[in-house]
Amino acid sequence: PLRAQTARGASVLHGGGVTPDLSRVRLFIFDADGTLRWTTVPGQKYPLAAHEWRLMPGVARKLNSIPWAEHGPWLAIASNQN
């Protein structure tokens, strides 16, 4: 599920099926592996180099649909990998 926090602190949870109102979301934080990208090396759980991953289907289209601006919303990528 996608969890987002609005500018006023309200939590928005998207578990699929219903598109949440993202107009009030100020910051999007995504885990990189398995959410935004796939590893292209068979058997490897996460990429170790820039050439070892690709975006998952639909990610570029969805990210390009968000009206990014200097005052938000912003994008952050999180990972617990090396």
Q: What is the pLDDT of residues 41-58, one digit of tens each?
A: 999 989 999 999 999 999
SS3 content of the chain, % helix, strand, coil (to 5): 10, 35, 55
pLDDT at 22 over 80: no
pLDDT at 5 over 60: no
User: Is residue 37 exposed (0-12), middle (13-18) or buried (19+ Cβ within 10 Å)?
Assistant: buried
What's the pTM value of the predicted model, to 2 decimals?
0.65
How many whole angstroms separate alpha carbon 62 and alpha carbon 76?
Answer: 15
pLDDT at 1 over 80: no
Q: What is the mean pLDDT of the chain?
A: 80
Mean pLDDT of the 56-66 span:
90
